[in-house]
Amino acid sequence: ATLVPLLARAAPAVRPLIAARSPSRSVAMSAKGKGKKGGDAKDAKDGYGGEASVGKATGGQTSADALTAAALKEAGISVILGSKSFTRQAILKEMGIPYEVAVADIDEKAIGDRTDSPKDLVMAIAVAKADAIVRKMGAELGPDMDGQWPIAEDAMLVTCDQVVVHDGVVREKPESKDEAREFIRGYGVSAPSTVGAIVVTDLETGGRCVALDRSTVTFAPIPEETVEFLVQEGECMNCAGGLMVEHPKMAPLVTELDGAMDSIMGLGKRVVGGLLMEALLDRKLKGLSGGIKKEFIPEDQRVEKS
């Protein structure tokens, strides 16, 4: 995948830590590491197999994933995933990173320009999600917390957004079954690309590490019965562009992949792992607990400062 580092450091006023206040980590959160579709592929037959389909497509936990998970655990840093996407939750769980979920509840359609740069659009939405969740958490702490830090001690927030670009047109989640059919049929004619943004916010300092991730996948012609199966099953309606490359009906049709499967699925493990490690490095530079030295970050996970 193409990693486009856009390291952004927020510079908010950092309030002194108030020993009597415990960190807030409960805004619209679900149980740790649980998704809503944890089915097994053998139970789903030819359909979407939940975590089993995700794991088969991404290849399971890598050594870099394990290193990131271990570094976060050693540092005592908790992770909040600002997404209700089952696939993103399954990928983070596969990396071995415990998490809780917070939902931004924003109108994504009101953000950005769909006719302009896809990378600007996804970054604007991912940042807006982070801002919305931070505001929610701040509101729980009190009205004087608007624009103030820390929101939570020893916690990082991960927010994401993704669109599919096909024949130069930005595609988001299908708005109807007919639109989903049109989208999926087209992927067997010309290759779609995914453009995603990932933002990691340190909820103690407000510091942010961000990056873009782009991948392209080429399919063989997609049979009409496969198109109809996917649309009637309905899971594709929850995915950008209706694209489910990990689906048992679609995975065998992949003929070429430029990038990473997990990137196409909505959360590139190399990218989010690198950003989390970069955020830990940032804490080290600021003299905070939980920091790490740069030499502990794998070469392929490092995000160069711009």
- Residue the block writes with tokens 């804490």: 283
| 162 and 195 Cβ atoms separated by less than 8 Å | yes
- Residue of 154, 161, 262, 282 with catalytic role: 161
- Report the 10 Å Cβ neighbour count for 140: 13
Closest among 89, 91, 95 to 64, alpha carbons compared? 95
Local structure of residue 50 (DSSP, 8 states) = T
Q: Give strand pairing partners of 216.
A: 193, 258
Separation between Cα atoms, residue 134 and residue 122, nearest integer Å:
18
| In 13-87, beta strands by DSSP E | 13-14, 78-81
258 included as an active-site residue: no
Torsion of CA 106, 107, 109, 111, to 10 degrees: -60
Chain CA centroid to CA 31, Å? 18
Active site members = 161
